[in-house]
């Protein structure tokens, strides 16, 4: 199934507090070390750009981005495993970047696990370039894992 075949009920909308339980299910299914619910709650409280992709009333993906000082930082993009491979993550990323441009950001930054080859491939295809490494940035099953730092001129 292609992203275009997701149907007319597929839409992006701002994240809301009642979405957090569904978001936590996606985080747990997709991530070995998911964000805590309180982190999402705080992101909503401080006004970060927080979005969900839903299909009817089913939240299938979510994203969080901060914007300030002429730059944005993509903090979290997560697609529930049942919906991965359909272009949902790519479409969500593009929506975030369009909003960052509209708000005057000229550079986008993000970190990605060094081992996350699918995400790294997506970000490279969208024009992100590697600019550095944060050693031991992420928790891992056997200690810590490096983050690859990426940037994109908007």
Active-site positions read: 111, 123
- The 3-state DSSP class for residue 151 equals strand
Q: Which of 53, 55, 100 is nearest to 79 (CA)?
A: 53
* Contacts (Cβ under 8 Å, ≥6 apart) of 117: none
> How far apart are alpha carbons 14 and 103 in whole angstroms?
16
Strands 143-153 and 129-140, how do they pair?
Answer: antiparallel
Strands 71-79 and 107-113, how do they pair?
Answer: parallel
> How far apart are alpha carbons 2 and 13 in whole angstroms?
20
List C-alpha distances in Å: 123 to 4, 36, 111, 119, 148.
20, 24, 10, 6, 11
């Amino acid at each position: 199934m292609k992203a275009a075949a997701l149907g007319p009920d597929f839409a992006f909308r701002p994240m809301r507090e009642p979405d957090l339980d569904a978001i936590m299910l996606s985080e747990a299914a997709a991530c070995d070390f998911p964000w805590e619910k309180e982190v999402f709650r705080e992101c909503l409280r401080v006004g970060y750009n927080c979005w969900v992709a839903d299909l009817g009333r089913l939240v299938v993906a979510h994203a969080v981005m901060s914007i300030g000082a002429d730059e944005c930082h993509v903090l979290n993009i997560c697609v529930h495993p049942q919906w991965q491979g359909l272009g949902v993550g790519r479409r969500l990323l593009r929506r975030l970047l369009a909003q960052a441009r509209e708000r005057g950001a000229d550079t986008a930054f993000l970190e990605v696990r060094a081992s996350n080859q699918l995400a790294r491939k997506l970000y490279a295809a969208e024009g992100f370039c590697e600019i550095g490494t944060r050693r031991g940035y992420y928790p891992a099953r056997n200690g810590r894992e490096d983050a690859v730092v990426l940037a994109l001129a908007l």
